[in-house]
Amino acid sequence: MTVDFANRASRERVLRQAAAGLGLRRGRNLLGLALSFGLCCLPAFGQSQQPPPAPQTQSSRADVPEAAPSVDAGLSDQKSPGTISGIIVDETGAAVIGTHVKLSRGDISKFQEALSGETGQFIFTNITPGDFQITIAADGFTTQTVSGTLHAGENFVAPQIKLAIAPNVTVVKVSLTKTEAAEAQIKLEEKQRVLGFMPNFYVNYDPNPIPLDAKQKFELAWKTTVNPVSFAIVGAIAGIQQADNSFSGYGQGAQGYGKRYGAGYADFVTGTFIGSAFLPSVLKQDPRYFYKGTGSTRSRVLYAIANAVICKGDNGHWQPNYSNILGSLAAGGISNAYYPSADRGAGLTFENALIGIGATAGANILQEFIVRKLTPHLPAHDPAKP
């Protein structure tokens, strides 16, 4: 779609559609909701454009000084991060699922956490070289620790960790079920709050993700839609839309604001439950974004963009993200029941769905490069194999 942004009316129409399209897929996390807020703010800024920078004259190669070798070149290899991994089993050799693993280095007040996956494996990546200690704790078993030194660029694999039954324990539950392990993983995800307050539930940093069952998908959707931050951002978006007279059919005053707020929240709820709970349950797809965190910048950007149209199935295999695509279309179709007549129609529904998918790709890129840095006390670690 080609847009002439010199035309204010055309520009504002596209921005309104972008905000609506973002609303269809806000349910993945609140990042899309915040992006909607930003897009709605754009029409308030002036239309003036900064003049292009003056062309620079090119100097001959002889005029360009050669770059001096970095004095830190010899130190960079000594600081190359490595990985720490291992497998946890019980006394019979069976994998122990959902075991809490804590990695401590230097300052014991700073640590990372992970849960063992279906094979009992855990892994921490991008770890700075140096001394470390791993603490393994599981109900019914004695707590164990593993210490070592990680060298630059090393893939440290701990010897198989065999948990012993705790004293005075007569009945031992060898390991968590998949449902219980997934619930424990969700609890870690619920600690993820951007800037310390904005929930980021739909992003998984664990390299051994455990599929969610239908109940857990609906539970995650419910917690997202009733979060106070969701109400606040929807309210801010409605206020900006009213100030800019977006969706003018709603009118002004308290009644107009209420209609805009109701429409925005309805978009959020339908998009969340249809695209992140109902369809993922029916189609057996995982609605979460699985953080990559490794590789070149190009590979991570392509991975983030691709995840707008592909996803992991509950079987762990990548597949077309029908939940996202169909959820956007379904939520857009439902919105025709309450948006002003000028903002309805099949064309707008498909157009907004495409905008929503593009917005999901943009949010994923932010997840890869920015959001994790803004999330304090992150309990999980960077995955090695998303």
> Whose CA is closest to 20, among 10, 29, 8, 32?
32
> Whose CA is closest to 121, among 152, 164, 160?
160
Summarize pLDDT for 300-332 with one digit per residue, the tens: 999 999 999 999 999 889 999 999 888 888 888
- Which of these CATH numbers, 1.20.210.10, 2.40.30.20, 2.60.40.10, 2.40.340.10, describes 80-162? 2.60.40.10
Contacts of 84 (CB under 8 A, 6+ apart): 103, 123, 124, 127, 132, 134, 148, 150, 156, 158
Q: Which residues in the chain land under pLDDT 50?
A: 1-29, 42-75, 171, 380-386
> Whose CA is closest to 28, among 275, 350, 291, 307?
275
Domain ranges of the chain: 8-43+179-374, 80-162
**Residue 267 CB burial class (10 angstroms; 0-12, 13-18, ≥19):** buried
Q: What letter does residue 342 receive in the DSSP assignment?
A: G
What is the model's pLDDT at position 385? 44
Say which amino acid occupies 109: S
Residue 190 has a CB neighbour count (10 Å cut-off) of 14
Q: What letter does residue 98 receive in the DSSP assignment?
A: T
Q: What are the two backbone dihedrals, phi and then psi, of residue 142, each rounded to the nearest 5 degrees?
A: -75, 145
CB 195 within 8 A of CB 201: no
Contacts for 146-154: CB closer than 8 Å, 24+ residues apart: 146/86, 148/84, 150/82, 150/84, 151/82, 152/77, 152/78, 152/79, 152/80, 152/82, 153/77, 153/80, 153/81, 153/82, 154/82, 154/83, 154/129
Contacts of 325 (CB under 8 A, 6+ apart): 309, 353, 357
The number of angstroms, rounded, from the C-alpha of 317 to the middle of its chain's C-alpha atoms is 19
What is the model's pLDDT at position 33? 57
What is the model's pLDDT at position 109? 59
What is the model's pLDDT at position 320? 95
C-alpha 263/C-alpha 283 separation (Å) is 27
CB 119 within 8 A of CB 51: no
Structure tokens at 218: 């609906």
C-alpha 276/C-alpha 27 separation (Å) is 6
Structure tokens at 295: 């590789």
Q: How far is CA 153 from CA 64, 130, 315, in A?
A: 35, 11, 32
Say which amino acid occupies 136: I
Residue 194: beta bridge partners? 198
What is the model's pLDDT at position 231? 92
What is the model's pLDDT at position 304? 94
C-alpha 96/C-alpha 290 separation (Å) is 23
C-alpha 335/C-alpha 331 separation (Å) is 6
> Whose CA is closest to 45, among 76, 87, 8, 70?
8
